């Protein structure tokens, strides 16, 4: 199928709409990292960085970098008014302890019960690494997973059971992909929105578990 899908930027832009004013939010690598550029006007979000920052602002301007003030990807950043610094220990008391309102992480697979796999591809080269992903996935009050709906080969990344090593069990609450927005509910996945020009049936065909679709058979299109 060659219908247009959302770009990575558009996935990030749609996910950003889920962030309420004043929210404390951790962003993972990849698509989630793009979310900070799309905060709706009039909202202030306190971004959490696992290395001990709450209230992280935009990337530092050239010439103004301070290499004692970096994000989790080593990028020199700034802080916004109201920010605080703390230890890595305190940082993960926040993640694990359920103090963050929202975390947005990338995904390799998400299962219908909310299990997330995003830290290791079986058979990949190198040691792999966990970083803060497990702590963040376990503890966030609302975990949003952003990713492409299917693999490069077209296989579903939303599955009945993860075949990749899981990061945390039953943790994802919302999935935003290039085709749809879905909620993870106690009764399984519910389709909330579809990409422009896609039908719920077409999205279902690229999704392994069943998606709950309203009796009308219609769901709204993703809007920004």
Partner 1 sequence: MKDKVIASVDAAVADVPDGASIMFGGFGGAGFPNNLIRALARKGTKNLTAISNNCGTDENELGILFKNRQIRRVIASFPGPRAVYFQELFAAGQIELELVAQGTLCERMRAATAGIPAFYTPVGVGTEIAAGKEERRFGTRRAILETALSADYALIRAHRADRIGNLVYRKAARNFNPVMAGAARITIAEVEEIVEVGALDPEVIVTPSIYVHRVVQAPGRRDG
Question: Does residue number 96 form part of the binding site for partner 1 (CB under 8 A)?
Answer: yes
Tokens matching residue 8: 């990575």
Strand partners, 84: 54
* Cβ nearer to partner 1, comparing 8 with 92: 92
If one counts every other C-beta atom within 10 angstroms of the C-beta of residue 62, the result is 7
Minimum distance, C-beta of residue 108 to partner 1, in the bound complex (Å): 14
Where do the DSSP E strands lie in the chain? 24-27, 46-49, 53-59, 77-85, 102-106, 109-111, 116-117, 142-146, 158-159, 172-176, 180-185, 188-194, 211-212
Question: Does residue number 112 form part of the binding site for partner 1 (CB under 8 A)?
Answer: no
Name the residues annotated as catalytic: 50
Pairing of strands 109-111, 180-185: unpaired
N- to C-terminal Cα separation, the chain: 24
Question: Does residue number 8 form part of the binding site for partner 1 (CB under 8 A)?
Answer: no
d(CA 28, CA 32): 5
Binding residues for partner 1 restricted to 45-64, rule: CB under 8 A: 49-53
Among 61, 62, 64, 74, binds partner 1 (CB under 8 A): 74
* Cβ nearer to partner 1, comparing 4 with 128: 128
d(CA 157, CA 118): 11
* Cβ nearer to partner 1, comparing 44 with 87: 87
Among 132, 145, 180, 198, binds partner 1 (CB under 8 A): 132
Minimum distance, C-beta of residue 172 to partner 1, in the bound complex (Å): 13
Among 166, 172, 174, 195, binds partner 1 (CB under 8 A): 166
If one counts every other C-beta atom within 10 angstroms of the C-beta of residue 100, the result is 22
Binding mask 181-220 for partner 1 (x = CB under 8 A): ----------------------------------------
d(CA 182, CA 107): 14
Question: Does residue number 69 form part of the binding site for partner 1 (CB under 8 A)?
Answer: yes
Question: Does residue number 146 form part of the binding site for partner 1 (CB under 8 A)?
Answer: no
Q: What value does the CA radius of gyration of the chain take, rounded to a whole number of Å? A: 18
Question: Does residue number 131 form part of the binding site for partner 1 (CB under 8 A)?
Answer: yes
Residues that bind partner 1 (CB under 8 A): 49-53, 66-74, 85-89, 91-93, 95-96, 115, 120, 125-135, 138-139, 165-169
């Amino acid at each position: 199928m060659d219908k247009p899908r959302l770009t990575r930027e558009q996935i990030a832009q749609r996910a950003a709409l889920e962030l309420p004013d004043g929210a404390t939010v951790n962003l993972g690598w990849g698509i989630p990292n793009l979310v900070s550029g799309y905060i709706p006007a009039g909202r202030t979000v306190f971004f959490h960085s696992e290395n001990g920052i709450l209230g992280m602002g935009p990337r530092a301007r050239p010439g103004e970098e301070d290499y004692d003030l970096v994000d989790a990807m080593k990028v020199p950043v700034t802080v916004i008014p109201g920010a605080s610094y703390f230890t890595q220990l305190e940082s993960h008391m926040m993640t694990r302890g359920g103090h963050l309102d929202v975390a947005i992480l990338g995904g390799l697979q998400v299962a219908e019960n909310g299990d997330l796999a995003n830290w290791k591809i079986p058979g990949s080269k190198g040691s792999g690494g966990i970083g803060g992903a497990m702590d963040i996935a376990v503890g966030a009050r609302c975990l949003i997973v952003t990713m492409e709906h299917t693999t490069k080969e077209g296989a579903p990344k939303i599955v009945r059971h993860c075949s990749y090593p899981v990061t945390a069990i039953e943790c994802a609450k919302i999935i935003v992909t290039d085709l749809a927005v879905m909620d993870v509910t106690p009764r399984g996945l519910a389709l909330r929105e579809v990409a422009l020009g896609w039908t719920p049936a077409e999205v279902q065909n690229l999704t392994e578990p069943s998606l709950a679709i309203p009796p009308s058979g219609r769901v709204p299109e993703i809007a920004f």
